[in-house]
Amino acid sequence: MNVEPQKRMAAEILKCGINRIYIHPDFIEDVLMAITREDIRNLIKNHVIQKRPEKGTSRVRARNRKQRKQKGLARGYGKRKGKKSARVKPKKVWQNKIRAQRKELKKLRDSKKIDKTTYRKLYLKAKGNAFDSIATLHRYINEHKLWRS
């Protein structure tokens, strides 16, 4: 009942691997009698020997995960890999922060809430990373009574 030689020949004819060759169990006797490539070709033509379809990796789960992430789900701490800086580069964080602070300082200067010298001092402090956010910038101005009177 060893049909390995027939499977090997069928695999070569069908140009696929041995594991993808399917032999119909009712016609095992016919397959055992087949010793030439011509016999194997006839069995393939009669659908006694068939080539199984390739197994692929299903993308269903990946698509579902992508959809959830687009909705904002599955983005918690448990799903993150790598450092914080791998998701948002430190330079980008700095750029966003400093641009917001400079914009706020310009707004305060132009609306005459702070004078030019105060603006310059705060600008340089912001450049030196003295403020974490616009809120800390305002807190600093309040604590040091730098509002224009």
Q: Please report the beta strands in 40-142, taking only residues with DSSP state E, as ranges in sequence order.
A: 49-51
Q: Which two tokens stand for residue 28?
A: 């095992």
pTM score of the predicted model = 0.57
Q: Which pLDDT band holds residue 1 (cuts at 50, 70, 90)?
A: confident
Q: How far apart are CA 9 and CA 15, in angstroms?
A: 10
Sequence-separated (6 or more) residues with CB below 8 Å from residue 37: 9, 13
pLDDT given at position 96: 98
Predicted confidence (pLDDT) at residue 103 exceeds the cutoff of 80: yes
Predicted confidence (pLDDT) at residue 94 exceeds the cutoff of 90: yes
Q: How far apart are CA 144 and CA 121, in angstroms?
A: 12
What are the chain's domains? 4-51 (1.10.1650.10), 86-143 (1.10.1200.60)
Question: From the centroid of its chain, how far is CA 55?
Answer: 23
Beta bridge partners of 22: 50
- pLDDT digit string, tens, across residues 58-78: 999 999 999 999 999 999 999
